[in-house]
């Protein structure tokens, strides 16, 4: 029988590094772009991504809403999504593709000094 209560120091260190890296704030950067241009481009990409993601999910959604029960037996309306058709994930990917297509890069925010 294995003891899952003890963890190796390497596993704890790796988990801590991954957790810190996952929490790093990021920003879009483009050479020679002013903040106004960044705001306009980001708003345009966000709008386009929202429209395309909902259109994609509407056409490719194989399931309709379902009524299921939670642990207490109460009815809950859920909408299961097929793989790669969650509108939030599709929207985020499309937004990222749009910004990269406009020449932006996603880089970590430098801490203020």
Cα–Cα distance, 57 to 84 (Å, whole number): 9
CB 24 within 8 A of CB 108: yes
Report yes or no on whether pTM surpasses 0.75: no
Distances, alpha carbon 79 to alpha carbons 14, 64, 75, 103, 105, in Å: 35, 6, 13, 36, 34
Q: What is the pLDDT of residues 18-31, one digit of tens each?
A: 676 667 788 899 99
The mean per-residue pLDDT over the stretch 94-102 comes to: 95
Cα–Cα distance, 44 to 102 (Å, whole number): 11
* Predicted local distance difference test score (pLDDT) of residue 84: 63
Provide the 3-class DSSP secondary structure of residue 14: helix
Provide the 3-class DSSP secondary structure of residue 57: helix
Q: What is the pLDDT of residues 73-83, one digit of tens each?
A: 999 887 666 66
């Amino acid at each position: 029988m294995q003891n899952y209560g003890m963890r190796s120091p390497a596993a704890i260190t790796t988990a801590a590094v991954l957790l810190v890296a996952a929490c790093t704030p990021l920003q879009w950067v483009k050479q020679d772009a002013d903040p106004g241009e960044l705001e306009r481009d980001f708003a345009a990409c966000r709008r386009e991504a929202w429209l395309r993601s909902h259109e994609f999910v509407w056409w490719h959604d194989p399931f309709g809403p379902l009524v299921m029960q939670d642990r207490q037996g109460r009815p809950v309306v859920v909408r299961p999504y097929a793989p790669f058709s969650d509108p939030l994930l599709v929207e985020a990917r499309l937004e990222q593709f749009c910004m990269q297509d406009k020449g932006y890069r996603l880089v970590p925010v430098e801490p203020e000094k």
